Amino acid sequence: MSHKVKKYIYGKPALDYWRVPSIRGNIEPVDMIFPDEYVIFTDKPIYRPDRAIIHTCSIPGAKKYVKGRACTLPLVFLQVAREYSILELIFLGLQICSYREGDQPRCTVDELRACAEELRGHRGRRKALRAIRYLDNNSRSPMESILYMFLRLPNALGGCGFSEIVLNEKITLEKSNKTYYADLYVPSCKLDIEYDSEEFHSSASALSKDRERTSHLEAEGYQVVSVNYEQLNNLKAFQNLVRQLSRLIRKRIHIRARKYFENFVALRDLLFKKGLSLRSRFRKIHWREVPRFPGVRTMYRIYLAAWNRLIRHPNLPLVLTRAP
């Protein structure tokens, strides 16, 4: 290969290069070693050595999305889009756009969107644009990202469909002149949803600060709901949490999507950090694996009918109709 041809780190190795947090252990095994992958911006045939994977890219405008030795994260997001499920891709996007204390964010949702809209013809573009619809900036932990996905995503992606929720909204109180950041915030009803991890919210001093924070917010008309890991882990507790939020947000939960079952269980796999084992959308889900929200019983029968039809006729397209 000519020494004049520059190659840039591509795909999953670039995620390591830019130190995107919490990818390993959630959607990739902790000890995974990615093979060397590079991209060269040319439309000419090149020599491809055995020791590395070389891609070529001739899409106009793509070459500007490089920095140093690697592709930048907006381009990397497109490069890996076809290798991840839609839920894994949304989680990855939330981590790419996560908060970095004392430093500039790695990337923003607007930068991801601008790159995807510009690079027409990129093979991962369509899926990336779909994932970007559900992204937000400034997630401060992987558990915040997962809680956000459970509550924010539509039913067809396994979520509760609370579409107003935003991440880490700044709240400035007028009376006490204090500033807080809500982990998840619903502007229409001034609802602050806080994820309380055992690591940072179990000590006496942390509990005291949380109580003080809650009292200041409630004194000025905000509602505060605390969520812990057990409420996500336990299906009955999760069901009760969602019903409480449904009343506060004034949005009714009613499941109408067959895909809810596969994707809700896939979100649970993401919660339990089962890297590389997110379930196929065609895997049979049992009744006990999903919360008993309104509409679940009816849609579960439709889901089972689709599953049984798929087993009998695996080569036919999956066309669904509602039960009469």
d(CA 115, CA 111): 6
On whether both 184 and 111 belong to a single domain, the answer is no
Position 228, amino acid: N
Tokens of 313: 């006729």
Question: What pLDDT was estimated at residue 279?
Answer: 73
Q: What is the pLDDT of residue 312?
A: 83
Reply yes or no on whether the pLDDT at 1 is more than 90.
no
Joined tokens for residue 183: 């982990």
85 and 171 housed in the same domain: no
Range of the domain at 290: 140-324
Q: 194 with 322, same domain?
A: yes
Can you say whether the dihedral through the CA atoms of 143, 144, 150, 156 is positive or negative? negative
Torsion of CA 60, 129, 131, 61, to 10 degrees: 20
Clarify whether residues 208 and 135 are in a common domain: no
Q: Is 224:185 a contact under the CB 8 Å cutoff?
A: no
Please give the pLDDT value at position 199.
64
**Residue whose token pair is 């995107």:** 20
pLDDT of residue 8: 95
Name the domain count of the chain.
2
113, 139, 165 — which closes off a domain?
A: 139
pLDDT-derived band of residue 53, with 50, 70 and 90 as boundaries? confident
Q: In angstroms, rounded to a whole number, what is the distance separating the alpha carbons of residues 136 and 110?
A: 9
As beta bridge partners, residue 171 has: 180
Q: Quickly tell me which residue has 């908060």 as its tokens.
A: 99
What is the pLDDT, as a whole number, of residue 194? Answer: 94
Are residues 285 and 193 part of one domain? yes
Per-residue confidence band for 31, with pLDDT thresholds at 50, 70 and 90: confident
Average model confidence (pLDDT) across the chain: 89
Lowest average pLDDT, out of 22-36, 141-155, 195-209, goes to 195-209
End residue of a domain, out of 139, 168, 194: 139
Instruction: Say if residues 115 and 75 touch (Cβ distance below 8 Å).
Output: yes
Name the amino acid, one letter, at 222: Y
- 162 and 119 in a common domain: no
Give domain status of residue 3, yes or no: no
What would the pLDDT profile of 193-241 be if each residue is shown by its tens digit?
999 886 655 566 667 788 888 999 989 999 999 999 999 999 999 999 9
Nearest in space to 69 (alpha carbons), one of 14, 122, 16, 2: 14
pTM, rounded to two decimals: 0.91
Specify the pLDDT at position 324: 42
Asked if residue 82 belongs to a domain, the reply is: yes
Name which of 107-116, 170-179, 235-244, 267-276 the model is least confident about: 267-276
Give yes or no: residues 164 and 281 share one domain: yes
Any domain includes 191:
yes
Q: Please indicate, yes or no, if residue 172 is contained in any of the structural domains.
A: yes
What is the rounded CA–CA span in Å between residue 100 and residue 97?
9
**pLDDT at residue 2 greater than cutoff 50:** no
- Residue 264 reports pLDDT greater than 50: yes
Same domain, yes or no: 85 and 204: no
- Residue 116 within any structural domain of the chain: yes
Residue 230 and residue 219 share a domain: yes
pLDDT digits (tens, 9 = 90+) for 74-122: 999 999 999 999 999 999 999 999 988 777 788 999 999 999 999 999 9
Q: Where are the beta strands (DSSP E) in the chain?
A: 8-9, 37-40, 53-56, 66-67, 70-71, 166-172, 179-186, 191-195, 223-227
Residue at 289: amino acid letter: E
In-domain check, residue 306: yes
Q: What is the mean pLDDT of residues 176-193?
A: 93
Q: Are residues 40 and 67 in the same domain?
A: yes
Same domain, 130 and 144: no
For 12, 33, 278, 318, the CA distances from 28, given in Å and listed in that order, are: 10, 10, 11, 30
Domain boundary at 90, 106, 139, which? Answer: 139
- Both 157 and 289 in one domain: the answer is yes
